[in-house]
Amino acid sequence: MSRQVVPEARVARAAAPFRQFIVKVHGHCNLACRYCYLYEGPDHTWRTRPAAAGPEVLDQAVARIAEHAARHALTRVSLVLHGGEPLLAGASRLADCAERLRDRVPENCAVHATVQTNATLLTGERIATLARHGITVGISLDGGLARHNTLRTDRAGRPSWPAAARGARLLADQHPQAYAGILTVIHLAHDPIETYESLLELRPPALDLLLPHGNWSTPPPGLPTRGTPYGDWLCTVFDRWWTAGRRETRIRLFEECLALLLGLPAATEALGTEPFTAAVIETDGSIEQVDALKSAYEGAARTGLDVFRHSFDQALRHPGVAARQAGLAALAAQCQACPLVTVCGGGHYAHRYRAGHGFTNPSVYCADLQRLIRHVAARLAASAARTPGGAAR
Ligand code: SF4
């Protein structure tokens, strides 16, 4: 049963259509990372689902996405081929899924397809197949050195790093145009500058630096504490990146923080108050909310809907989805009164959970987010002051 606390008045505003569709083409993984919230966390729904999405599920998912794109006259949708490890389904099946969606959406709707992989199964042939079909490749790593990735092992405890590093280098060398970037969960034990510089060695066009999933009832590693270890870690990387003139790579969290500070819209799950517009299709066709919610409690991402019986418009009316589209109105009173709220937005939804209170709380990373946002604002203001006639707009 859902434990989300969403008063009716907060879900009444018009829904923004989904624009990102995360399709679980394969629900299992060839790795068994020791911190994985999907397989080691409180949610076990993956155990009862088919390992891979069958052709009928992928067909119906594609039909529903196309239907949603047509109904809302979308000019662009994002298709994220996800897992588990999606390459366990084979590169050809991923290509087929992307091509079928391109065939089904209205003519003026572009499909941006990405596969999110642990990189261990990337071969020259598979990368070429993905690139040929216009699928970009996002890689998940804990850093750019073997010792950053010691928790990323297979079920027998063998390190994934040699294969993952080989896959990332193949991608950077052979098909840089298909390289979407690297997603890295922050580990406080890893030096921030060393982590950042080691990732740069893998030549990613973009980096996602993610806070580990946790909440008030199951705090992330290192919290609670009187300090701001995650904020400090991020500020250190920010200074390194900012000083280099931001040319080395894009860092989405920082770019979005800067955009929000300048009053620009930023589509991010981690910051801001823009409606969240991603939906997940599981291997059995279930429509769910994003995986991160599974770090809160068993079934937290469930909607009870599926692509065979329900449209994505019906999913938009689910209270959990609506709560993530309600902006300021859905935030805790403390966040609504916070001077940083237009930038922070209460942080990642999953990080607000407290057992017995649902998600209407500040982020468990509140102090760390304040540290980062104030630091970025100060650097931005100092930079604007140095620019002739410049003031941050
Ligand atoms: S989580 Fe903290 S910093 Fe963010 S809006 Fe809420 S009170 Fe402000």
Q: Would you say residue 106 lies in a domain?
A: yes
Do residues 82 and 48 touch, judged by C-beta distance below 8 A?
no
**Residue 362: inside a domain, yes or no?**
no
End-to-end CA distance of the chain: 46
Give the number of other CB atoms < 10 A from CB of residue 60: 18
- pLDDT attached to residue 39: 60
Kindly state the DSSP code that residue 16 receives in the 8-state scheme.
P
Please count the structural domains in the chain: 1
Tens of each residue's pLDDT in the chain, 393 residues = 334 433 333 444 578 999 999 999 998 888 988 777 666 667 777 677 888 999 999 999 999 999 999 999 999 999 999 989 999 999 999 999 999 999 999 999 999 999 999 999 999 999 999 999 999 999 999 999 999 999 999 988 999 999 999 999 999 999 999 999 999 999 999 999 999 999 999 999 999 999 999 999 999 999 988 899 999 999 999 999 999 987 899 999 999 999 999 999 887 789 999 988 999 999 999 999 888 888 888 888 899 999 999 999 999 999 889 888 888 988 999 999 999 999 999 999 999 999 999 999 999 999 999 999 999 999 999 998 887 665 443
Helix orientation angle between 192-200 and 229-243, rounded to the nearest 10 degrees: 50
- What is the number of the ligand 1 atom nearest to the C-alpha of 332? 6
CB 334 within 8 A of CB 362: yes
Cα–ligand 1 centroid distance for 331 (angstroms): 9
**Do the domain assignments include residue 207?**
yes
CATH number at residue 264: 3.20.20.70
User: Is-contact 32 39, C-beta < 8 A?
Assistant: yes
Residues 229, 134: Cα–Cα separation, whole Å: 39
Asked whether 350 lines ligand 1 (CB < 6 A), one says no
Q: Quick one: which of 59, 117, 113, 112 has its CA closest to 88? A: 117
| Ligand 1 atom at minimal distance to the Cα of residue 370 | 3
How remote is the CA of residue 279 from the centroid of ligand 1, in Å? 25
The answer to whether residue 366 is domain-embedded is: no
Report which ligand 1 atom has the smallest distance to the Cα of 366.
2
Q: Where are the beta strands (DSSP E) in the chain?
A: 20-24, 76-82, 110-117, 135-141, 179-185, 206-210, 250-251, 278-281, 286-288, 302-306
Q: Which domain holds residue 322?
A: 17-329
Ligand 1 atom, smallest distance to 365 CA: 1
Could you give the CA distance from residue 13 to residue 208 in angstroms, rounded to a whole number? 31
Name the residue of 271, 341, 361 whose CB sits within 8 Å of the most ligand 1 atoms, as the mutation to test its pocket: 341
Q: Is 286 in the pocket of ligand 1 (CB under 6 A)?
A: no
CA of 250 from ligand 1 middle (Å) equals: 25
Would residue 80 count as lying in a domain?
yes
364 C-beta closer than 6 A to ligand 1: no
> Phi and psi (nearest 5°) for 55?
-60, -35
Give the residue from 260, 219, 190 showing the smallest Cα distance to 366.
219
Does residue 272 line the site of ligand 1, with CB under 6 A?
no
Q: Which atom of ligand 1 is nearest to the CA of 338?
A: 8
According to the model, what pLDDT value does residue 226 have?
A: 87
- Tell me, using a 6 A CB cutoff, whether residue 344 lines ligand 1: yes
Burial of 149 (0-12, 13-18, 19+ CB in 10 A): buried
Q: Is 192 among the domain residues? A: yes
Tokens 């209270």 correspond to what residue? 319
In whole angstroms, what is the distance from residue 74 CA to residue 187 CA?
38
* Cβ–ligand 1 contact at 204 (below 6 Å): no
Maximum distance among all Cα pairs of the chain, rounded to whole angstroms: 62
Determine, yes or no, domain membership for 383.
no
Q: Would you say residue 158 lies in a domain?
A: yes
Contacts of 56 (CB under 8 A, 6+ apart): none
